[in-house]
Each structure stands twice: as C-alpha cells, then as structure tokens.
Amino acid sequence: MSPKATFVIATRAGDAALADKVVLVLKLGLGMYACGHMSVDVEQFMVDVAAALDMPTPSISVGHRVVQASFGRYEAHVLRCGRDLVFSGLADLTALANAIANGECRTAAQGLFVCDELLERPLPYGWLVQLLAFEGIVVMGVIVAYHGSFYDVLGAAICTPFLLLSMHLGRVLRVSHLEIMVVSFAMGVMGPLVFHYVSNGGQAICHIGYQFIAPLIIHLPGCQIIWGALELAQGSVVHGGTRIVNGMFQAMLMATFVSLGWQIFGRHWALGDESVLAKPGVQAEGPLTSLPPSVWCPEPWLAPAAGVPSWVTWYTVGVLSLPMLVFINVNLNIRPRESLGPLLCGVVGAYASLFLAYGMPIEATLPSYLQNIIVTFITASAANGVEFATGLSSVVCVVPFFFLIAPGSAAMMACIGAFHRDAGEMSYSSIHPLAAKCARPEPYDIHYPACS
C-alpha cells in the first residue's frame, strides 16, 4: 500500500491511532492474498486482527481481486491487488497475523513496522535459480506426475525453454495478463514439432501428451479448483463457485490455445494412425487428425512390463518425488528453513497416492476418484499436523503436493476430448468394448479371437 493511500486513510479516520490499525489490517490482508492465501482464510485473519486491535465494527469482504473493508462509521476502502505464489511472504505474514490475534503484538504501530519490513523483503531465490527449478519441475514431472518415458522427458525438456521465453515475451509486451493463452499457444506450436524431429523414439502418438502438458504443469488450474472447493466447504458460496468456474474456464482456454498452436506444425499429424477412430462418414483427413491427443497412453509403465527397466517400481517413483518437491518449493519461494514440512507432506501424499494406485492387490484397488479423496485427506492431515507442531501454515505445506499430482490435467484433456468428439471422433462410450479393443492396438499383447 502506497504512502498516498496511507495518508488518505488517516485523513478519513481523523485519528492517527485508528489509521495505523486500518492500514495494518489492510496491508496484512492484501499481503496474504497477494502471496497466495485463500480469500476465506484471509478474510478471517483480517477480522481476527481487527477484533484484537479493538477496531469499531469491522466489515470485511475479500473477493478474487478486490478487498473491501469498512470500520465503524467511516466509508469503505476498496483495494485491488495482483496474485502470485510467494510462500515465504505468506508464512511470515500469517505468523504476524497470528501474533496480533493472540495478543503477542500489543500496538498497531509495532505491528505495522514489522509488516512493512516483511513486505519489503526480497524473494529468497534469484531469477536463474527459478528458471532451473522450473526446468527441474518439468523434467521430474514427466516421470513422477505423468509416468512418461525418457523420450518424453527429452521432449518436455526441449519445449520448456520456449515456454519460459513466451512468458518473458509476454512481460516485455505488457500482456502478462494473457500469459495462460500465450504459453498454451507456444506449447501447441512446439509440441508436434519437437515430437516429430527429436522425441518420437518410435513411441505411440499418445506420448506427445506428456511432452506438451508437463511444461504447463505450473499453469494448470488444479489449485484454483481445489481452493474453490475448500471455499465452498467453508460457506463462501459466491467466491468458491466463482473460483471453480474460473478454473474450468482456464482449462478450456488452455485447451483452446494449445489446439490453435497445434495447427501450425501439427496439421494431419495423426493421419493414418490406428488410434484415431472416426465416426461413420467422417473423413480422417481434416480437423480430426489435426488436434492434440485427448487420452493418456494405456501402456504399462511399471516393471516387469516389456521395455520397462527393472528399477521402475511405484516405490522408486515415490523416491523421485522428493527432488521434484524440492524444485516446487523453490518455485513457490519456500525458504530452505521452512522446506522440511512441505517436503514431508509431499512425500507422504506421493507414497499414499502411488500405494493406492499401484501397490494394492488388483482385487482391493479403489476407483481413482476415491483414491484422490483419500490421498487429499491424508496429505491435508499431515499439513495440519505440521502446522500444529511448528506453526507453519498448512497452506504452505499442502500446495506443493497439489503441483505434484497435477490435478488440472484431467480438466484440460477433457476439453480437448470435447474438440475431438466435435470433429467426428467416436467416443469409447458409444462403441462396443470389444470393438474398441479390435480397433486399437492392444498394448498388453492380448489376442482376442473375436477380432480375427
């Protein structure tokens, strides 16, 4: 908040002591929200701090981009802020808000001084470290989050610098508010080009999905959808519902601009492939074979499957989640001294997810949606335990795991799948299961006599 805004608040209040309290509450709220906290929690923190400072009848509402607050008979303050994920600042501001609410910080002037110091702190990592961490997230994400091959790692690693370049270009051209569309278009352009010339490796064409989605893992709207669900659960119907709708709209935008970029080097890229199932009367040459894939590869990726190294097991992939979590912590600006809790929660969630999906006997395996609910509950419980033991916000502990599982990927693939069906592809639900097995190459080398 600028000195001019502080002067305006003091003029409106007509009371220097009350003005300090108002500025402190607004700076804390704006700071926490700008650093990545949920609107419901930010609102509650602001109310608790205002009550601890004995401010007259606070009325506070935190929206997606606007904070509205009024105190007593004075007119409302309407403030706007940007939003990012800076968890070092979030941890500090949350600790300060808790200290004020618990009476450990007795004067508004003292709290305001500390708040200003926290807001002026530089980020813990420089731009080069951030770039290397981003590349590390993508490379490890292909294996840990998407279970891709080494060729997929190569393709994603080559596409990532072009995504970073498009992000920087957007900032130079002052269109960073269009970053989602710019980076999605860039991946749509580079995906088929890199796959065709570098990272094919004789693989099925479905593998290209890992190579263009993994670089977008940070931009996927998974966290936004999860935040919306949490806000709905806490009674914020408008904010939670709006956030979920915004997350789905973001997934649709990403699918749209990936598909637009695909038209440059990916026209008819899937022509002649047996995996493309066109409806009767629909020609394969055209939009149907000029779209990015909408399904994940059905090939087995764990040993002892053919062509899979013997060390690739669900528990070794769990070990590989640790370096990915380290890179995610750097990307989220979590300082090393605060990294133990997020790393612990992330590893617990990763192993719980892998065990439920691949470590249980097939007759005891649960549906994937139930697995996600159980894993989320286990990880959130671990994050609450870390918060109880150390005071570190549970949000800081649980968000890195959400990036690990990339929950927005399914929404984006579903949107691309809708494009496929609109272009004339036959959906699996509309054909007989045996016909689907006969029409597609079977990855498990199982022969169906009825197909002969």
Upstream peptide bond of 433 is cis (omega within 30 degrees of 0) = no
Separation in Å, CA 344 to CA 63, 281, 328 = 32, 54, 13
Contacts of 33 (CB under 8 A, 6+ apart): 39, 42, 62, 67, 81, 83
The pLDDT, as a whole number, for residue 14 is 54
Closest CA to 24 of 49, 43, 48: 49
Strand partners, 60: 69
Based on the fold, state whether residues 345 and 390 are members of the same structural domain: yes
Does residue 344 lie within any of the structural domains?
Answer: yes
Where do we find the tokens 């008819």?
268
Does residue 87 lie within any of the structural domains?
Answer: yes
65: containing domain: 3-119
The pLDDT, as a whole number, for residue 9 is 52
**pLDDT tens digits, 277-313:** 888 888 878 888 899 998 888 877 777 777 777 788 8
Strand partners, 62: 67
Does residue 423 lie within any of the structural domains?
Answer: no
**pLDDT tens digits, 19-73:** 888 899 999 999 998 888 888 888 889 999 999 988 888 888 887 778 888 887 7
Based on the fold, state whether residues 246 and 339 are members of the same structural domain: yes
Domain count, the chain: 2
The pLDDT, as a whole number, for residue 244 is 87
Based on the fold, state whether residues 156 and 94 are members of the same structural domain: no
The pLDDT, as a whole number, for residue 445 is 38
Based on the fold, state whether residues 283 and 238 are members of the same structural domain: yes
The pLDDT, as a whole number, for residue 447 is 37
Closest CA to 141 of 412, 402, 438, 377: 402
Based on the fold, state whether residues 136 and 109 are members of the same structural domain: no
Going 164 to 166 to 171 to 177, the CA torsion angle's sign is negative
By the 8 A CB rule, do 119 and 129 touch? no
Closest CA to 225 of 205, 196, 263, 254: 254
Based on the fold, state whether residues 114 and 136 are members of the same structural domain: no
The three-point CA angle 176-397-341 to 5° equals: 130
Does residue 33 lie within any of the structural domains?
Answer: yes
Which amino acid is residue 73, in one-letter code? R
Based on the fold, state whether residues 59 and 187 are members of the same structural domain: no
Tally of CB atoms within 10 A around 198: 14
The pLDDT, as a whole number, for residue 446 is 37
The token pair that represents 212 in the structure block: 């263009």
Tally of CB atoms within 10 A around 431: 14
Does residue 49 lie within any of the structural domains?
Answer: yes
Domain boundary among the residues 75, 101, 119 is at 119
Calculate the CA 185 to chain-centre distance: 18
By the 8 A CB rule, do 191 and 292 touch? yes
Does residue 435 lie within any of the structural domains?
Answer: no
Give the single-character DSSP code of 224: H
Based on the fold, state whether residues 191 and 265 are members of the same structural domain: yes
Based on the fold, state whether residues 133 and 206 are members of the same structural domain: yes
The pLDDT, as a whole number, for residue 96 is 93
The token pair that represents 121 in the structure block: 């702190």
Based on the fold, state whether residues 133 and 17 are members of the same structural domain: no
Task: Write out residues in the chain with pLDDT < 50, as ranges.
Answer: 3-4, 6-7, 10-11, 13, 429-452
Does residue 434 lie within any of the structural domains?
Answer: no
Contacts of 237 (CB under 8 A, 6+ apart): none
Based on the fold, state whether residues 194 and 343 are members of the same structural domain: yes
Domain boundary among the residues 91, 119, 147 is at 119
**pLDDT tens digits, 400-442:** 998 888 778 888 999 999 999 888 888 654 444 434 444 444 4
Based on the fold, state whether residues 218 and 360 are members of the same structural domain: yes
The pLDDT, as a whole number, for residue 347 is 94
d(CA 43, CA 59): 10
By the 8 A CB rule, do 176 and 350 touch? no
Does residue 444 lie within any of the structural domains?
Answer: no
